[in-house]
Amino acid sequence: MGWVRSNLDAVRRLRAKLQGSPFTVVDEDGNRTKVNEADFYENFQRNAERLRAGWRRKKIGSEEAVPPPHKVGAALTRATNPLPQLLENAAETQRRLDRQLGDLEEQ
Protein backbone atom coordinates (compact mmCIF):
# COMPACT_ATOMS: atom_id res chain seq x y z
CA MET A 1 0.00 0.00 0.00
CA GLY A 2 3.00 2.27 0.51
CA TRP A 3 3.70 2.40 -3.24
CA VAL A 4 0.27 3.91 -3.84
CA ARG A 5 1.06 6.68 -1.39
CA SER A 6 4.48 7.31 -2.95
CA ASN A 7 2.95 7.40 -6.46
CA LEU A 8 0.32 9.84 -5.28
CA ASP A 9 3.05 12.03 -3.82
CA ALA A 10 4.93 11.88 -7.14
CA VAL A 11 1.80 12.95 -9.03
CA ARG A 12 1.31 15.84 -6.61
CA ARG A 13 4.94 16.96 -7.09
CA LEU A 14 4.54 16.73 -10.87
CA ARG A 15 1.35 18.74 -10.79
CA ALA A 16 3.04 21.40 -8.67
CA LYS A 17 5.89 21.60 -11.18
CA LEU A 18 3.51 21.92 -14.12
CA GLN A 19 1.46 24.63 -12.43
CA GLY A 20 4.59 26.68 -11.95
CA SER A 21 6.64 28.06 -14.80
CA PRO A 22 6.18 26.25 -18.09
CA PHE A 23 8.77 23.91 -19.56
CA THR A 24 10.50 25.06 -22.72
CA VAL A 25 11.01 22.61 -25.57
CA VAL A 26 13.48 23.51 -28.34
CA ASP A 27 13.36 21.79 -31.75
CA GLU A 28 15.99 21.35 -34.51
CA ASP A 29 15.19 24.75 -36.03
CA GLY A 30 15.59 26.53 -32.70
CA ASN A 31 11.86 27.12 -32.30
CA ARG A 32 10.84 27.25 -28.66
CA THR A 33 7.53 25.93 -27.35
CA LYS A 34 6.45 26.58 -23.79
CA VAL A 35 4.49 23.70 -22.29
CA ASN A 36 2.28 23.97 -19.22
CA GLU A 37 -0.34 21.82 -17.50
CA ALA A 38 -3.24 22.95 -19.71
CA ASP A 39 -1.21 22.12 -22.83
CA PHE A 40 -0.66 18.57 -21.58
CA TYR A 41 -4.41 18.11 -21.13
CA GLU A 42 -5.10 19.47 -24.61
CA ASN A 43 -2.44 17.16 -26.07
CA PHE A 44 -4.02 14.20 -24.28
CA GLN A 45 -7.45 15.07 -25.66
CA ARG A 46 -6.10 15.49 -29.20
CA ASN A 47 -4.33 12.14 -28.97
CA ALA A 48 -7.60 10.53 -27.88
CA GLU A 49 -9.33 12.07 -30.93
CA ARG A 50 -6.53 10.81 -33.17
CA LEU A 51 -6.80 7.28 -31.75
CA ARG A 52 -10.58 7.24 -32.26
CA ALA A 53 -10.19 8.37 -35.86
CA GLY A 54 -7.49 5.74 -36.45
CA TRP A 55 -9.70 3.05 -34.93
CA ARG A 56 -12.62 4.07 -37.14
CA ARG A 57 -10.42 3.91 -40.24
CA LYS A 58 -9.18 0.43 -39.36
CA LYS A 59 -12.29 -1.23 -37.93
CA ILE A 60 -15.18 0.25 -39.86
CA GLY A 61 -13.43 1.53 -42.97
CA SER A 62 -14.19 5.17 -42.34
CA GLU A 63 -12.58 7.75 -44.62
CA GLU A 64 -12.22 10.12 -41.68
CA ALA A 65 -8.78 11.71 -41.61
CA VAL A 66 -6.64 11.40 -38.51
CA PRO A 67 -6.22 14.90 -37.01
CA PRO A 68 -2.69 16.30 -36.86
CA PRO A 69 -0.86 16.20 -33.53
CA HIS A 70 -1.33 18.98 -31.02
CA LYS A 71 1.44 21.62 -30.97
CA VAL A 72 2.79 20.09 -27.74
CA GLY A 73 2.92 16.59 -29.21
CA ALA A 74 4.66 17.88 -32.31
CA ALA A 75 7.15 19.88 -30.24
CA LEU A 76 7.95 16.91 -28.01
CA THR A 77 8.69 14.65 -30.95
CA ARG A 78 11.12 17.19 -32.43
CA ALA A 79 12.79 18.23 -29.17
CA THR A 80 16.57 18.55 -29.24
CA ASN A 81 17.21 20.10 -25.84
CA PRO A 82 17.73 17.84 -22.83
CA LEU A 83 14.32 17.20 -21.31
CA PRO A 84 13.41 16.20 -17.76
CA GLN A 85 12.59 12.49 -17.51
CA LEU A 86 8.88 13.30 -17.39
CA LEU A 87 8.96 15.07 -20.74
CA GLU A 88 11.34 12.50 -22.24
CA ASN A 89 8.80 9.79 -21.41
CA ALA A 90 5.99 11.89 -22.89
CA ALA A 91 8.05 12.46 -26.06
CA GLU A 92 8.71 8.75 -26.52
CA THR A 93 5.03 7.95 -25.98
CA GLN A 94 4.06 10.59 -28.56
CA ARG A 95 6.55 9.16 -31.09
CA ARG A 96 5.14 5.65 -30.57
CA LEU A 97 1.57 6.90 -31.05
CA ASP A 98 2.55 8.79 -34.22
CA ARG A 99 4.21 5.64 -35.63
CA GLN A 100 1.13 3.53 -34.88
CA LEU A 101 -1.22 6.03 -36.49
CA GLY A 102 1.13 6.37 -39.47
CA ASP A 103 1.01 2.60 -39.94
CA LEU A 104 -2.81 2.73 -39.94
CA GLU A 105 -2.85 5.45 -42.60
CA GLU A 106 -0.61 3.34 -44.85
CA GLN A 107 -2.96 0.35 -44.73
Instruction: Give yes or no for a contact between 68 and 54, defined as CB atoms under 8 angstroms apart.
Output: no
* pTM for the full predicted model: 0.71
- Number of domains the chain is built from: 1
Residue 36 has phi, psi (to 5 degrees) of: -125, -175
Burial category of 85 from C-beta neighbours within 10 Å (exposed 0-12, middle 13-18, buried 19 and up):
exposed
Could you tell me which of 60, 61, 59, 11 has the C-alpha nearest to residue 37? 11
Q: Position 21: which residue type?
A: S
- The confidence band for 7, taking pLDDT boundaries of 50, 70 and 90, is low
For residue range 38-87, list pLDDT tens digits in order: 888 899 999 999 999 888 887 777 777 888 999 999 999 999 888 888 88
Strand 32-35 to 23-26 pairing:
antiparallel
Q: Which helix (H) or strand (E) holds 105?
A: helix 85-106
Name the residue range of residue 76's domain: 2-106
